Copies of this chain bind each other. A is one copy, B any other.
Amino acid sequence: MDARHELGIGLLGLGTVGSGVARILPAKSEALFGHLGTSLTIRRVLVRDREKPRAVRLDPACLTTDPAVVLDDPAIHIVVEVIGGEEPALTFIHRAVAQGKHVVTANKEVIAKHGPELFRAAAARGVAIKYEASVGGGIPIIAVFQHDLSANDLREIRAIINGTTNYILTRMANEGSEFASALAEAQALGYAEPDPANDVDGHDAVYKLAILSSLGFHTEVHPDQVYREGIRQLAARDFQYAANLGYAIKLLALARNTTRGVEVRVHPTLIPRERLLAKVDGVFNGIEVEGDLVGRLMLYGRGAGAEPTTSAVVADVVDLVQRIVRGESPAYQEPPRVPRPVVPMAEVTSRYYLRLIVADRAGVLAQIAREFGERNISIAAVIQMAADAAAGTAELVVMTHQANEAAMRQTVAAIARLAVVSQVASFLRVED
């Protein structure tokens, strides 16, 4: 039988997503591939431990601990990489490409850090690397950027793309929890890892933003170029005060395509509550895009989990199979990626939210206002929130108009040095 009519899959990894793929592909094989006159078989699965009990039924002979058994099998046409992490996934993908196999991956770290080199290698070898599952779980965003928005010049991407932090922030907003207890709850529910750094410090969102901005702006943004702040420093009262002012606080991944270069940053951000993005709650993700033709578009859905991610992985597999069966080139020919400068964070402008603990006496505000005024930063609102009579302190919230980041940082440093200021408790950006 022609290889075109019996295609082989090699699966790298049999964790949450791998098990989903191993369960769904055979179960839906007839519905997905029957009308194409094709069958698709999972021939080999790379695991760490062949003896481990598995929830998914697979011929035990499929399982192997030797990557070469998967990567060098000539009857395998598509390698699905769902190991995650940089290595050995990167090496495996390179080897699969070198062996002329198409690759479907859910690996945001590898694509964010090594996308350009991998895409070049794949193009040279005439194979495809598809990575829909690397961003936004089941939300179609890679294909939407590559195909559906192809007529647009994208100006801006604003995304809530880490479900773990969005769950924690939603709990802090709705229940008044502090970060530590909201994190513990997320861990108990399996939404956060025992070591939560990758999520709560923003690394995961940075990888995804690097992928989205590179693809959306036809350039190459490395994760190291993305400004990053996590959510550990947020306090429950910031959520209350933000809500009183009409804002939600979200870990926003923001990319802007400007004439001076690309702005790329991940940080907690006040977003007006009437904006749809502010209403993306819990483990859900929301990706908002501004294009010159389409205007504002938002995609919303489950950004993680076995089934949504499997949805994206299998969609990539189906697309490859359709093209392989018809003898077509599955390598997507996207417009060339042109290196662009990344705007340094110091040169960015934003609005800001500051929460200060100050001495509760007359004249304090004047001193603080002077520091803003000297650096030409205009204050939009100052609100005295709560006074602590015992400590003799009061809490002030300051919202600025648009200001330069460097000037704002100097202002904050100067304010922190004032004798009447005991603490700059929060320093957050605001996007309207």
Contacts and interface: CB of A to CB of B under 8 A. Distances in A.
Interface of A: 20, 24, 28, 31-32, 34-36, 132, 138-140, 143-144, 147-152, 276, 279-280, 291-302, 305, 307-308, 310-312, 314-315, 318-319, 322-323, 326, 328-329, 333-336
A4 to B, nearest CB: 14
Given A148-B315, A150-B318, A293-B308, 4 more contacts: A35-B336, A143-B144, A295-B305, A298-B298
A307 B329 contact: no
Given A148-B143, A150-B315, A318-B151, A295 B329 contact: no
21 contacts: A20-B293, A32-B151, A35-B334, A36-B333, A139-B294, A139-B297, A140-B144, A143-B143, A144-B144, A151-B318, A276-B276, A276-B280, A279-B279, A293-B314, A295-B305, A297-B299, A298-B298, A298-B300, A299-B299, A323-B328, A328-B329
A294 B276 contact: no
- Stoichiometry, as copies per complex, reads 2
A333 B328 contact: no
Given A138-B293, A143-B147, A295-B301, A35 B333 contact: yes
Contact of A308 (B294, B314, B323, B328): B294
A20 B32 CA distance: 37
A319 B140 contact: no
Contacts of A314: 150-151, 293
A35 B150 CA distance: 13
